Amino acid sequence: MVEIAIMGHGVVGSGVANIITSHKQKLYSAVGEEIHLKKILDLREFPDLPYADKFTKDFDDILNDVEIRVVAEVMGGIHPAYEYTKKLLLAGKSVVTSNKELVAAKGAELLQIAKENNLNFLFEASVGGGIPIIRPINQCLVANNVMEIAGILNGTTNFILTKMIEDGMDFDAALKLAQDLGFAERNPEADVEGYDAVRKICILASLTFGKHVYPDNIHTEGITKITLEDVKFATKFDSVIKLIGDVKQLDDGKLDIFVAPMLIKKSSQLANIDNEFNGIMVRGDCTDDVVFYGKGAGSMPTASAVVADIVDCVKHLKRRKFLFWVDGSNENVLPYEQSKAAMYVRVEASAGDELKKIFGSDIKTVSNGANIAAITPVMTVKEFEEKTKDLKLLSKIRVGDL
Ligand code: HSE
């Protein structure tokens, strides 16, 4: 029997406790011995739960329990999750986490501590919820030079965009529904402003290219400026608007990495990924496009990935899984103004002539009477900003070739 503990009994933690207790036989078959939940850390009380006796409010009860070999950190946020994780690794316990904020900020350091102590620090649930993506990139696709990863990485914003497009629901009502369903972050600004998605694309970039990419200086746009007009105009360009996290390695080795809403063609494999579902496309030089699709948020899908990591740790109690990247400085990140893209633009109808003067008379435009929209040729963000500095833009959205 292997003893484990869970830190946090929120949306994900309660799902982990549920799976560990309800899937005992399935997990026994996978591991060959029982995975036994010994303690749960939470400041709240849950007297009505069948496992109410396992709760503690004292982190030291887990840290100092030598029988506990694996701990699931599902508290969220950096503090005290970082301090706790570090102490647990230094005390000889493997740690698994769904905490993308922690991995994006401290991944290189925690992986190094795990390595020095011959332990595992695993985080399959930190990107894509229930979708397997960390292991596939690290193992199944490892023979490829990855050319690009592009993904719908945030369930809440995808849910909101879907409800706006399909049901004409307004932004606030759709966000409230996503919160009620347990998809949104404690502070939903992290979802709608793109901070959650940028953490996830940074984790994928760090894993794929081997050096930590920190989210702080990565260009990040959310969906708060997306209007129903833009959603309708996108249709006229045979496209949909999705919030995309994207990373490409350029010929000089630099990473072109950002999070932004994008117009993508309806024929793209990412275009029909709706509601809280996530989709991640990995472009390998051997495989071409491989797409991963599934529920990117919610209690049980995310807990499924956390429990898979627990199983992996239990199977490798005395061996490390090779999952590693070194610290990085972001010097290998392309400044966003040098990133190249075509742009969708929307202006007042009266600015239509000006638009044609800037981008050429043969630019394809569409009109709804009041506004005109167009897609510019591909150029750097800096060139685009210079060309349009005197134009009154109502909207500008990147166009993705995905
Ligand atoms: N708030 C996140 C989302 C949860 O909506 O995708 C899963 O990381």
CA of 253 relative to ligand 1 center, distance in Å: 30
Q: How far apart are CA 118 and CA 122, in angstroms?
A: 13
Residues 6+ apart with CB under 8 A from 8: 41, 42, 73, 74, 75, 76
Say which CATH topology domain 134-295 has: Dihydrodipicolinate Reductase; domain 2 (3.30.360)
CB contact at 8 A, 292 and 128: yes
- Which of 93, 106, 163, 200 is catalytic? The answer is 200
CA of 280 relative to ligand 1 center, distance in Å: 14
Instruction: Look at residue 73 in the predicted model and tell me its pLDDT.
Output: 98
CB contact at 8 A, 153 and 185: no
Say if ligand 1 is within 6 A of residue 84 CB.
no
Calculate the CA 52 to chain-centre distance: 32
Amino acid 35 reads I
Domain 2-130+299-315 coded CATH 3.30.1370.110: no
Q: Is 176 a catalytic residue?
A: no
Hey, CA dihedral for 148, 274, 310, 94, is it positive or negative?
Answer: positive
Amino acid 1 reads M
Instruction: Look at residue 121 in the predicted model and tell me its pLDDT.
Output: 98
Say which CATH topology domain 340-399 has: Alpha-Beta Plaits (3.30.70)
More reliable by pLDDT, 236 or 167: 236
CA of 120 relative to ligand 1 center, distance in Å: 24
Hey, CA dihedral for 331, 337, 341, 344, is it positive or negative?
Answer: positive
DSSP summary character for residue 365? E
As given in the structure block, the two tokens for residue 180 are: 């009620």
Task: Return residue ranges of the chain for CATH 3.30.360.10.
Answer: 134-295
Looking at the DSSP bridge assignments, the partners of residue 347 are: 372, 393
Say if ligand 1 is within 6 A of residue 129 CB.
yes
221 — pLDDT class (breaks 50, 70, 90): very high
Closest residue by Cα to residue 333 from 259, 219, 257: 257
Which residue has the CA at smallest separation from atom 4 of ligand 1? 297
42 — pLDDT class (breaks 50, 70, 90): very high
Task: Return residue ranges of the chain for CATH 3.30.70.
Answer: 340-399
233 to 123, 273, 333, 346, 351: CA distances (angstroms): 39, 19, 32, 9, 17
> Ligand 1: which atom is nearest the Cα of residue 188?
1
Amino acid 252 reads D
Q: What is the pLDDT of residues 102-147, one digit of tens each?
A: 999 999 999 999 999 999 999 999 999 999 999 999 999 999 999 9
Q: What is the pTM of this model?
A: 0.97
Check whether 169 has a pLDDT greater than 90.
no
Closest residue by Cα to residue 10 from 189, 191, 185: 185
Check whether 321 has a pLDDT greater than 90.
no
Q: How far apart are CA 7 and CA 202, in angstroms?
A: 24
> Ligand 1: which atom is nearest the Cα of residue 158?
5
